[in-house]
Amino acid sequence: MSILKPDLDNKLSAFIDQAEFPCVGAKTALNKGKVTVRQYDNLLCDMNDTDILTDIYDFIHQFEIDQDMYSSLVLTFELPEVITEAVFDKLLWRKLQNLHDIDSCLYDWDDEVDDNPHNPNFSFSLGGKAFFIIGLHPGAKRKSRRFERPALVFNLHEQFELLREQGKFESLRDHIRQQDEAFCGSKNTLLQNHGEESEAYQYSGKQQPNNWQCPFHASQN
């Protein structure tokens, strides 16, 4: 089950609220009170998978695009405290695989996106809804990903699609990229446009080799 540590909740708010923090979407969500934080014990633990899914399903069911635009669900983990980019990458995909294996018994993959992590139209799906996922952890090389605890940020893809329909997505995306380069001191080479390269390369924040094979495999149920 999730645990509540107000100090960690406050630290996440402070992390997003840094003056030069690049993600204006996260800042907007914070200012609107639309950042939902759920705290867990260990990213390595399989026993919290069903509780995590319950939190994700609740987030989906409560989400209304008209009133909840710029909303994020953040799952934080107390452990492991010391972690490298390579280890976090493995743990992130292990956790996502576990969640999918349970979820696939209940829901189909969102048919608006592909389930192959190497397909340019890939996006992760849980509860029948596509998500863009951002990993944070203490060992991240980029300052914008370096939070004191491992965390997984879930953003519903339909928010991005609405921004595209409104003609706002590209300008917001480009602004975030410029701010991220200034905040971190270098260009983020991971950032690609959806539909040109799979967003799976961006989830953990680790720079993957050219021959990288994503360890995630969608169920064939």
* Mean of pLDDT values over 72-100: 95
Structure-model confidence comparison of residues 57 and 25, the more confident one: 57
The two tokens of residue 112 are 């608006």
> Left, alpha or beta for 185 (phi > 0: left; psi -120 to 50: alpha)?
left
Structure-model confidence comparison of residues 21 and 157, the more confident one: 157
The pLDDT score that the predictor gives to residue 61 is 96
Looking at the DSSP bridge assignments, the partners of residue 182 are none
Which pTM value belongs to this model? 0.90
Looking at the DSSP bridge assignments, the partners of residue 131 are 124, 156
Quick one: pLDDT band at residue 129, thresholds 50, 70, 90? very high
The pLDDT score that the predictor gives to residue 153 is 97
Assess whether pLDDT exceeds 50 at residue 24.
yes
Lowest mean pLDDT among 79-93, 99-113, 171-185, 207-221: 171-185
* Mean of pLDDT values over 107-112: 96
The pLDDT score that the predictor gives to residue 31 is 87
Amino acid at 56: I
- Please state, in angstroms and rounded to a whole number, the distance separating the CA atoms of residues 118 and 149: 28
> To the nearest whole percent, how much of the chain has pLDDT over 70?
86
Beta carbons within 8 Å of 34's beta carbon, 6+ residues apart: 28, 68, 70, 71, 72
Quick one: pLDDT band at residue 195, thresholds 50, 70, 90? very low
Quick one: pLDDT band at residue 191, thresholds 50, 70, 90? low
Domain ranges for the chain: 6-202
Looking at the DSSP bridge assignments, the partners of residue 42 are 79
Nearest to 206 by CA among 123, 97, 121, 83: 83
Structure-model confidence comparison of residues 52 and 166, the more confident one: 52
- Please state, in angstroms and rounded to a whole number, the distance separating the CA atoms of residues 88 and 138: 10
Mean pLDDT for the chain overall: 87
Lowest mean pLDDT among 2-6, 78-82, 88-92, 204-208: 2-6
Lowest mean pLDDT among 86-90, 101-105, 175-179: 175-179
Quick one: pLDDT band at residue 192, thresholds 50, 70, 90? low
